[in-house]
């Protein structure tokens, strides 16, 4: 993370300084993994798609929060949490471009009453399987040091 970006985010109040707490970070990562796995276990239909989508999204956001905590900061909004994940060097890095779209879908579901489709729920599960699990492993490894 570039120093200028961090300073700007601090000044605007979008992040705040926190003491790095590896135990807390590991707990957040583990919670994200557990919640994502529970959501993946739900049978997806038009009634459950929004629930599944939001839970997987929340797990991704927790991973973003964890990354910020590794830097010694706490994010104040979802956009900042997820933005930091897009910088990660993972096998399927191009898929990280989907994060903004997932955030918009989640916001539509949470704040505008839109229902998430079965296809969208399946898409975010596939994203978790291909990217989320790898991100969680990388962050967990970083939190052990």
pLDDT at 1: 73
In Å, how far are 33, 44, 69, 126 from 133, measured between CA atoms? 7, 20, 18, 10
Render pLDDT for 79-126 as a digit per residue (tens, 0 to 9). 999 999 999 999 999 999 999 999 999 999 999 999 999 999 999 999
The parent domain of residue 42 ranges over: 3-143
**Average confidence (pLDDT) over 15-30:** 94
Specify whether the CB–CB gap between 71 and 15 falls below 8 A.
no
Report the SS3 class of residue 87. coil
Rounded CA-CA distance 16/113 in Å is: 31
Rounded CA-CA distance 75/45 in Å is: 33
Rounded CA-CA distance 88/91 in Å is: 10
Cα 79–Cα 84–Cα 90 angle in degrees, nearest 5: 130
pLDDT at 144: 85
* Domain containing residue 15: CATH number: 1.20.120
45's torsion region: left (phi>0), alpha (psi -120 to 50) or beta? beta
pTM for the model? 0.94
Specify whether the CB–CB gap between 16 and 74 falls below 8 A.
yes
Number of domains in the chain: 1
């Amino acid at each position: 993370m570039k120093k200028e970006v961090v300073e700007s985010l601090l000044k605007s109040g979008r992040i705040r300084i926190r003491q790095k707490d590896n135990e807390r970070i590991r707990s957040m990562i583990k919670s994200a993994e557990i919640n994502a796995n529970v959501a993946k276990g739900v049978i997806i239909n038009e009634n459950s798609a929004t629930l599944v989508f939001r839970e997987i999204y929340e797990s991704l956001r927790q991973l973003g929060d964890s990354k910020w905590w590794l830097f010694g900061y706490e994010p104040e909004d979802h956009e900042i949490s997820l933005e930091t994940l897009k910088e990660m060097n993972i096998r399927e890095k191009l898929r990280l471009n989907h994060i903004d779209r997932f955030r918009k879908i989640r916001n539509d579901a949470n704040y505008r009453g839109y229902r998430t489709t079965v296809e969208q729920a399946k898409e975010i599960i596939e994203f978790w399987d291909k990217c989320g699990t790898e991100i969680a492993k990388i962050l967990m490894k970083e939190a052990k040091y």
